[in-house]
């Protein structure tokens, strides 16, 4: 991997402008291999680079891929209007890196949310051509019936869609709970599909994207983690 100067390295990791990063280095805030470095012009090999800043250990990452267990009452927009934004749950430097949520969840929907600063990855994951399945667990206002399941599997017509939308799979998990898989990622899709099928969604949680499950990640509500290459393969 190429070498770059320390100020550029810190800037690329979201720690602020180059001017601010130079100031941090001059003030002795940065150390590598246990040694404080104060020359921002010093070049560093980015391969497997670990460094310490603000008394925390960091690993250089060209791009970051994040999984978050989103709680209720949080907006996925970077410019939230009525509720706190999702970026308030993440380290400040992620905003500097232009981390974006992939496939937004409604403010009252909980569960697995992916975020990244890799534009190509974000586009690929959001593209309907990829047919990435998303698994949701929905609590319903009325009992789950076989008629409801059959309607969702056959496809329901939403008022602003040219063709009916069908669930990939649909299974009752309780008297008023249903597990449903969709691929399209339309606006409020699961809630609107349930309504179109004659029921109403009381609570909704996304528990898997592809084969990446919230259970396997072991994240409590509001917690996040970096995704490794092995995790990305499940997507």
Is the distance from CB of 188 to CB of 160 less than 8 angstroms? no
C-alpha 44/C-alpha 4 separation (Å) is 6
Catalytic residue among 39, 48, 98, 106: 106
User: How many residues can be counted in the chain?
Assistant: 235
C-alpha 109/C-alpha 74 separation (Å) is 9
Residue-by-residue DSSP string for 28-46: T-EEETTEE---TT-EEE-
118 in catalytic set: no
Is the distance from CB of 165 to CB of 207 less than 8 angstroms? no
| Catalytic residue list | 106
């Amino acid at each position: 991997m190429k070498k770059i100067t320390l100020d550029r390295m810190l800037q690329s990791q979201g720690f602020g402008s180059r001017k601010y990063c130079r100031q941090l280095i001059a003030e002795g805030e940065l150390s590598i291999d246990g040694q404080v470095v104060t020359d921002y012009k010093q070049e560093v090999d980015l391969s497997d680079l670990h460094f310490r800043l603000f008394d925390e250990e960091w690993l250089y990452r060209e791009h970051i891929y994040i999984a978050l267990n989103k709680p209720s009452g949080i907006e996925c927009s970077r410019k939230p209007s009525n509720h706190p934004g999702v970026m308030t749950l993440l380290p400040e430097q992620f905003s500097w890196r232009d981390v974006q949520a992939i496939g937004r969840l409604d403010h009252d929907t909980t569960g697995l949310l992916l975020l990244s600063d890799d534009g190509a990855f974000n586009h690929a994951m959001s593209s309907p051509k990829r047919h990435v399945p998303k698994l949701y667990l929905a609590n319903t206002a009325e009992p789950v019936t076989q008629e409801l399941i059959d309607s969702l599997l056959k496809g329901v017509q939403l008022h602003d869609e040219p063709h009916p939308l069908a669930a990939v799979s649909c299974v009752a998990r309780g008297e008023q709970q249903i597990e449903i898989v969709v691929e399209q990622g339309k606006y409020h899709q699961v809630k609107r599909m349930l309504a179109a099928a004659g029921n109403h969604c009381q609570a909704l949680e996304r528990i898997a994207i592809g084969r990446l499950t919230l259970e396997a990640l072991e994240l409590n509500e509001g917690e996040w983690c970096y995704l490794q290459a092995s995790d990305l393969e499940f997507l």
